[in-house]
Copies of this chain bind each other. A is one copy, B any other.
Amino acid sequence: MNTRTTKAINLGVFEHFQPVLPEEFRDSRLVFLANSAPETQARVLDQVSSPELVVADTMDFWINHQKDSLLRLLPRLDGLMLNDSEAMLLTGESNLVRAGHAVRKLGPKFVILKKGEHGAMLFSDDGVFVVPAFPTEAVIDPTGAGDSFAGGIMACLAADSDHKPGRLRRAMAYGTVVASLTVEGFGLDRLRTTTRQEIDHRLEQYRQMLAF
């Protein structure tokens, strides 16, 4: 379940979507630009007055078809998330570590490479940080794993207002745990019944699992 194959994309109403950000969101401190056309992402970002942290997701479709727009967006980002294969596609590097460093050179201050069931890597001023996925036996539906990984990360960063060193690492650990819950149910089923206590408990299990 680790590989996504794009069978067809029909942008539909999304193609000419001009998002208008409601007034109450224009002073958002944190902005997460979920995967969409780089120009749409830029237009949303234009409407936020003074964001502290901007993170975007992207995918192969935009790299293949709207690379110029994407390259214009990247320097405006603090962080970019993308799959391992997409980082290689974007940079032409066949080694993941080199690909991660190369994406950073395109503008974002940090880069998160997602490797599905194999975890994720963070490239930042702080060096390279690697996290395996939380090993779960009950993979029901991988849909939304990447999005909830991002959600866990952004929520953790939003809560961590004192900007302590290592906050991106902690955020990635939280994102990993949230994603591992997501895949244990169909659609949103598992997340819907998840409590904060359960997330913290699994984070502790995860920490023990990695200790040597």
Residues of A that sit less than 8 Å from B by CB: 95-98, 101, 115, 117-119, 121, 127-133, 135-137, 139, 166, 169-170, 172-173, 207-212
B130 contacts A212, C-beta separation under 8 Å: no
Q: A136 to B100, alpha carbons, bound, how many Å? A: 12
A135, B212: Cβ atoms closer than 8 Å: no
List residues of chain B with CB within 8 A of the CB of A128: 135, 209
A210, B130: Cβ atoms under 8 Å?
A: yes
Contacts of A97 in B (CB 8 A): 135-137
29 contacts between A and B (CB under 8 A): A95-B137, A97-B135, A97-B136, A97-B137, A98-B137, A115-B118, A118-B119, A118-B132, A119-B119, A121-B135, A127-B208, A129-B209, A129-B212, A130-B132, A130-B133, A130-B135, A130-B210, A131-B132, A131-B210, A131-B212, A132-B132, A166-B211, A166-B212, A169-B211, A169-B212, A172-B212, A173-B212, A207-B212, A210-B210
Nearest B residue to A171 via CB reads B212
| Complexed CA–CA distance, A121 and B136 (Å) | 12
User: Measured between alpha carbons, how far is A29 from B208 in the docked complex, in Å?
Assistant: 30
B169 touches A95 (CB 8 A): no
Residue of B nearest to A210 (CB): B210
Which listed residue, B95, B96, B127, B132, touches A119 by the CB 8 Å rule? B132
Q: Is the CB of B209 within 8 A of A130?
A: yes
> Which B-chain residue is minimally distant from A117 (CB atoms)?
B96
